[in-house]
Amino acid sequence: MNKRVLILCTGNSCRSIIAEALINARLEGVTADSSGVRASGRVNPNARKLLEEKGIWREEYHSKVIDTVIDNEYDLIVTVCDHAKETCPMFPKAVKTIHVGFEDPDGKGYEAFEATYKEIEEILLPEVKRALG
């Protein structure tokens, strides 16, 4: 299986970056990108610290706008926040889209990032596998 997934949220600084890293690290044969409908332009320091501690941080992870990935071909688009779900753009080619929402840890303590990581690992990864099945 060689599938491509796009994780989409609003700011592309926490949830979508964590999901991108987890998919790339844990799902064999699946490559993930992430983007924001209104990208913040930065990765939240707590998200980066957590991914570094888990050993799955890559220097290429960064906050990017949807325009940088809109022409890529994806097998699945996953929105991880309600705003992204409501404003998800139409992609040039028809692509399956699912929504698995998570609370935004931005502005909260490090424990909130750990909780979000655990939720994404336990909830999102199986959903992505099922959707690509």
Which residues are catalytic, by number? 9, 81, 88
CA distances from 41 to 12, 63, 122 (A): 8, 5, 27
Within 8 A by CB and 6+ apart from 89, the residues are 37, 66, 70
CB 72 within 8 A of CB 6: yes
